[in-house]
Amino acid sequence: MITPDGCAVELYARLPAWREPAVIHQAAGDGATILELGCGAGRVTHPLIKLGHELTAVDESPEMLARVRGAQTVLARIQELDLGGRRFGAVLLGSHLFNVPDDDLLGAWLATCRRHVADGGSVLIEQHPPSWFETVADGERTAGDGLVVRIRGVQRAGSGLVSATVEYGYGDQVWTQSVTAREITEAGLPRVLDQAGLAFAGYLTDDRSWLRAVSR
């Protein structure tokens, strides 16, 4: 099963969580309520629940949401989400969604984050680290749990855009996904957030792949 944005449900049900839950847990604080936008099959959702968080998990794919356990699930596109005044201690925009090359779509996603974050809460955003746009190249690496990731056909089209085909393999099973990512420079970051009523509040990781924003 392939979702509307080209993700394979079976693959995302098997991918490891890596370090994301630890980063989010530390930034959100013990027991924070979390709204996870684009939760997929629960790769990050499930570890966060085990860490004591109450999760509301949103995705546009019913097949993805069917894999989520222990969270309230909401079937919706991120840009159309409106939970009727509900606010959360942390709103999560992970999976490098921040690097979508569509300005209008990114603005709509960030506006959803702003609508649903509580006063004093945080919007936690994952992006490709700036160094990735300079160094990503064709190649292969192992990523744990038997996962092999291959990157093919890397192209740089200017304006901070990088396109590539990513191949994920578990033994004889292989899934392929084409991606295009746009770099948001450190200089341009405040403007992008400000347009959605958010303000930059610092990086959460040394490689600048995670950042915090707050209501402006």
165 and 96 both lie in a single domain: no
Chain segment 157-186, per-residue pLDDT in tens: 888 999 999 999 998 889 999 999 999 999
The C-alpha atoms of residue 70 and residue 106 are separated, in whole angstroms, by 28
Length in residues, the chain: 216
Residue whose pair of structure tokens reads 């509580």 in the numeric block: 118
User: Quick one: average pLDDT of 26-49?
Assistant: 97
How does residue 2 score in pLDDT terms, banded at 50, 70 and 90? low
Beta bridge partners of 81: none
In degrees and rounded to multiples of 5, residue 69 shows phi and psi of -125, 140
Task: Classify residue 201: in a domain, yes or no.
Answer: yes
The C-alpha atoms of residue 195 and residue 138 are separated, in whole angstroms, by 35
- What is the model's pLDDT at position 144? 74
45 and 142 both lie in a single domain: no
pLDDT(3) > 80 = no
CATH number at residue 121: 3.40.50.150
- What is the model's pLDDT at position 145? 78
User: Quick one: average pLDDT of 200-214?
Assistant: 97
Under a CB-based contact definition with an 8 Å cutoff, are residues 21 and 47 in contact?
yes
Residue whose pair of structure tokens reads 């300005």 in the numeric block: 103
211 and 122 both lie in a single domain: yes
99 and 49 both lie in a single domain: yes
| DSSP, residue by residue, the chain | -B-TTS-BHHHHHHS--TTHHHHHHHHH-TT-EEEEES-TTSTTHHHHHHTT-EEEEEES-HHHHTT--SSEEEE--GGG---TT--EEEEEE-TTGGG-S-HHHHHHHHHHHHHHEEEEEEEEEE---HHHHHH--SEEEE-STTEEEEEEEEEEEETTEEEEEEEEEETTEEEEEEEEEE---TTTHHHHHHTTTEEEEEESSTTS-EEEEEE-
Chain segment 68-119, per-residue pLDDT in tens: 999 999 999 999 999 999 999 999 999 999 999 999 999 999 999 999 999 9
Task: Classify residue 1: in a domain, yes or no.
Answer: no
Question: Whole domain around residue 146: which residue ranges?
Answer: 131-182
How does residue 1 score in pLDDT terms, banded at 50, 70 and 90? low
How does residue 16 score in pLDDT terms, banded at 50, 70 and 90? confident
Q: Give the count of domains, the chain.
A: 2
The C-alpha atoms of residue 20 and residue 42 are separated, in whole angstroms, by 12
